[in-house]
Amino acid sequence: DWGTRFAIAESFVAARLAEAKRMSAEIAWAYRQVIGSGGRTRVSVLADQLGWSRKHLAAKFSDAIGIGPKTLSRIVRFNRALSLSKHQLDDWAGIAADCGYADQAHLVREFRDLAGETPTALA
């Protein structure tokens, strides 16, 4: 099931963080911001708050964690939407809004991109 697969992916990222010998405080902060926001924090906002360019943040983040901040945000949002779908059956527009997707069509595209399935098929 896809919820399990994405939980494994998140566990991989968490394990990678735990194994990191010297992750900078800035990257650790950016990671916490992405997770804490449910994947809704924009990479440009993180970069601005750090005084870095988006490209610099993405490179440093990817070096430390193994994926870029945008990819992590997409996974976190997807996982949250999948989790909410277990409780809010068939309210895809509400789930999309709760998770920070622009609209229901955006949520459907993300599900297809990340899982190869529609939200209904995975719920």
Nearest to 117, CA basis, from 39, 2, 4:
2
Token reading at 74: 């997409």
**Do residues 93 and 84 lie in contact, with contact meaning Cβ atoms separated by under 8 Å?**
no
d(C-alpha 89, C-alpha 113), whole Å:
21
pLDDT at 50: 98
- Domains belonging to the chain, first-starting first, are 1-123 (1.10.10.60)
| pTM of the predicted protein model | 0.81
Q: What is the mean pLDDT of residues 97-109?
A: 95
pLDDT in tens, 44-78: 999 999 999 999 999 999 998 889 999 999 999 99
d(C-alpha 78, C-alpha 83), whole Å:
9
pLDDT in tens, 3-48: 777 777 777 777 766 665 567 999 999 999 999 999 999 999 999 9
Token reading at 41: 């924090």
